[in-house]
Structure 1
Amino acid sequence: MKRSEINSILKKDIEFAKKHKIYFPNFANWNKEDWQNLDERYREIVDNMLGWDVTDFGSGNFEKYGLVAFTFRNGNYNRKDLYPKPYCEKVLFLDEGQELPYHYHKLKEEDTINRGGGNLLIKVWNSVGNDLDRESPVTLKKDGEQLTVPAGTTIRLKPGESLTTTQGIYHKWNVEKNTGDVLVWEVSSTNDDKVDNYFYEKYPRIPKIEEDEEPYRVLFGDYDLLNLNFEKLDK
């Protein structure tokens, strides 16, 4: 993806969030220089992948396959001594016509909540190995109601409705046609996008970025490329 494309996407979705009265912490607005001047007090943000994320899953077609997210808080599977939080909270943006491809998690259980805009469609299957189980029914919960549905069922979430998916359930997101972009909230157990996303087809989770302009907002995928001053905590 080009940085200019990412910048344009973020500007649009930040305005969409404002319309729904979603407010972000200070670090959501930091520029590249702000990040490079941090000290060890802010290590949790970087270690736990808090902040912005934009991906087209390597498709080169964000309008078809894409997602924008902001992670507010998260734990860390590898450093539970430092970061004992067992939960994660994020907001996600999905445009009408966009798809979040089939994937499942081995570690994370999540609640997907439609917070406003259009209707979110979630198609579900059980996993068998890394394949879709096309036979067995899927058991999950929608706003506290236990559902058992046939493999490949699509569940509609209208604004205010939510769905709980446990580990091992393949799920794919779409937006129902002619209902508009969707603002999604996710409340889950600890999230690690680098190791716990198992896509049915092989997609790169973090895109390669062509730097054709300066970042409007830094993404969590940029953190490793920044010169961050965390020496005190390392000693």
Structure 2
Amino acid sequence: MKRSEINNIIEYTIKATEKSKIPLPPFAYYTLDDWKGIKEDQREIVDNMLGWDVTDFGRNNFNHTGLTIFTFRNGNFNNKNKYPKPYCEKLLFVRDGQILPFHFHWHKMEDIINRGGGTLKITLYNSNVNEDFDDSDVEVTIDGKVEKIKAGENIFLKPGQSITLGTGQYHQWQGVPGTGDIALFEVSTTNDDRIDNRFYEVKSRLPEVEEDAIAKYLIFNDYGKYVGF
């Protein structure tokens, strides 16, 4: 992805959150100079991958297949003594019609909550021992009610609704075209997006960035390049 595209995507999302009255913490607005100057007392932001993340999953067509994420809080798989939080909270911003490709998590259990905007279509499969699609019924919890659905069946979440997804459950979603952008929130167990995503087809979760412009905001995968500690 081009840096100019990432800049524009984050600016679009900030404007959308302001319009939807979803407040973001100060570090959501940090400039490149702010990141270069942060001190040790903000190390948790860097160590636990808080802040922005943008991906097109290597498809080079963000508006069709992509996701914008802002992580508010998270624990740490690799340093549980220093960061003992067992939970994670994220904003997952889905453009109208945008697709998140099929994937599951080996470790993470998550609630996906439609906080407002359009309708989210989720397609579900269990995974088998070979990490392929299984044809068994999928058991999930929707707004506190246990549901069994057929493999490959769709669930539609309107604003205010939520679904609980367990480990090993393949899920793909799409913002239903014509219903508008969607502000999803994810509440989950501690998450590490570098190692806990098993995509069915996609090979690239974290984007390779072409630096065609100065970074107005950083994504978490930039921290090692720009942050001084």
Instruction: Output the TM-score relative to the length of structure 2.
Output: 0.97
What are the Cα deviations for residues 31-84 of structure 1, in whole angstroms up to 9, with x where unaligned?
111111122111111111000001001111111110000000000111000000
Are 1:101 and 2:101 matched, yes or no? yes
Count of aligned pairs between the two proteins: 228
Q: Show structure 1 runs of 4+ deviating over 2 A.
A: none
2: CA distance, partners of 1:55 / 1:202: 12
Matched position secondary structure for 1:78 = coil
Q: 1:177 is matched with which residue?
A: 177
Deviation track 1:171-224 (CA, whole Å, cap 9, x = no partner) reads: 001011211111100000001000000000132111011111111211101011
Q: 1: distance between equivalents of 2:7 and 2:104?
A: 28
Is 2:116 the partner of 1:131? no
Match in the other structure for 2:214:
214
Contact 2:56–2:66 at 8 Å: present in 1 too? yes
Structure 2: where are the runs of 5+ without partners? none
Secondary structure, in 3 states, of the residue corresponding to 1:225? helix
SS at match of 1:90: strand
Partner in structure 2 of residue 83 of structure 1: 83
1:115 aligns to what SS in structure 2?
Answer: strand
Aligned mates of 1:9, 1:69 — CA distance in 2: 11
Gap runs ≥5 in structure 1? 230-235
Deviation at 1:28, TM superposition (A): 0.8
- Trace 1:12-51 onto structure 2 (pairs within 5 A): 12-51=12-51
What is the root-mean-square deviation in Å for CA atoms of aligned residues? 0.9
What code does the residue aligned with 1:130 have? E
| Cα distance in 2, alignment partners of residues 147 and 203 from structure 1 | 31
- Is 1:6 the equivalent of 2:6? yes
- The two structures have a TM-score, normalised by structure 1, of 0.95
Secondary structure at the counterpart of residue 205 of structure 1: coil
1:227: Cα distance to partner?
A: 4.1
- Take 1:11 and 1:39, find their aligned partners in 2: how far apart are those partners? 25
User: Which position in structure 2 is the counterpart of 1:164?
Assistant: 164
Task: For 1:108 and 1:200, locate their aligned partners in 2 and report how far apart those are by CA, in whole Å.
Answer: 17
User: Whole-Å Cα distance in 1 between the matches of residues 100 and 227 of structure 2?
Assistant: 32
